[in-house]
Structure 1
Amino acid sequence: MVVIEGRFQNASSLKVAIVVARFNDLVTNKLLSGCLDCLNRHGIDIAETSDQLDIAWVPGSFELPLVSQSLAKTGRYDVLITLGAVIRGDTPHFDVVINESSKGIASVSRETGVPIIFGLLTTDTMQQALERAGVKSNLGWNYALQAIEMGSLMNSLN
């Protein structure tokens, strides 16, 4: 029997891109901070001069798939992480943004073969978003762990 799984100790060789939505940046900056902390603690160089990590900023979550696609097509990255926060309002805009973002990100990952971690918070209130971005725990850390695991797993399959 062969067991194939990602390893966390191999993170220092991974090349990672993070695509972050500016909309609801109070939340997305906290997610990014948790993500960077995790990547750094697992051996990925997060310095501004790093050749292991790139960060792209987009206006909102709707734009995440397009920029993720552009980055994935370069062939430079083992894994991408998308970070965004879509908070329900009084109109159906929430549903449109999250549906198109999630479908687009999944499609890009399948088409390019590059794993893309879906780090979009979808909450009913700002308070719920803030709790998931650091008040109670920071899901940015979890998204980075998923990226390390998937990047390592995909490298072992290739």
Structure 2
Amino acid sequence: MTDGIQIALAASRFNHFIVEQLVDGAQDALARQNLPESSRPLFWVPGAYELPLLADRLARTGRFDAVIALGAVIRGGTPHFDFVAGECSAGLGRVALDRDLPVIMGVLTTDTVEQALERAGTGEGNKGFDAAVTALETLETLRVIGDRYPANPAP
């Protein structure tokens, strides 16, 4: 059931050739569940490190029932990967708990570009698609246990 649901997509421009495929997968999954395009706006930030801040700002608006964060962090020859991937993941989790809102981690963390492309490909292997399905399933579970749904009204 998607009537009245608002889901924000937060995406990273870094590795855009991969992230755009994740966005397409997420949009496809939400469209298949009849969530109108106007109910699934897309917002961009420069990199995965900035995704937690964007997710927090989106959550604070009270307009969204969930946020799906999409990005791709690919290991390189420096420890940069560990810092970005770790902070992104921890930050998104913190936003979900602090804001009491589903924040779905659709950020790829891979060793190679090839692995990222495989996970962002078409079909059932697209992790953006999976992230959108996860958002909808989480919202349904929260509805069943009697939590806010749809709409995230301010107290």
TM-score (norm 2): 0.90
**2:143 pairs with 1:152:** no
Kept in 1: contact 2:45–2:51 (CA 8 A):
yes
Choose the corresponding residue for 2:52, options 60, 65, 84: 65
Structure 2: tracts of 5 or more residues without a match: 148-155
Kept in 2: contact 1:14–1:151 (CA 8 A):
no
Q: Which residue of 2 aligns with 1:119?
A: 106
Q: Which residue of 2 aligns with 1:87?
A: 74
Count residues with an aligned counterpart.
145
**Aligned with 2:3: secondary structure?**
helix
Choose the corresponding residue for 2:2, options 11, 14, 18: 11
Structure 1: tracts of 5 or more residues without a match: 1-9
| Structure 2: distance between partners of 1:96 and 1:25 | 20
Choose the corresponding residue for 2:121, options 134, 139, 143: 134
Query: Offset at 1:155?
Result: 3.3
Choose the corresponding residue for 2:84, options 88, 97, 102: 97
TM-score (norm 1): 0.88
Letter in structure 1 aligned against 2:14: F
Please report the RMSD computed on the Cα atoms of aligned residues, expressed in angstroms.
1.2
With 95-104 and 134-143 compared, the bigger mean Cα shift is at: 134-143
Q: Which residue of 1 aligns with 2:96?
A: 109
| Structure 2: distance between partners of 1:14 and 1:118 | 19
Q: Which residue of 2 aligns with 1:20?
A: 11
Q: Which residue of 2 aligns with 1:30?
A: 21
**Aligned with 1:12: secondary structure?**
coil
**Aligned with 1:152: secondary structure?**
helix
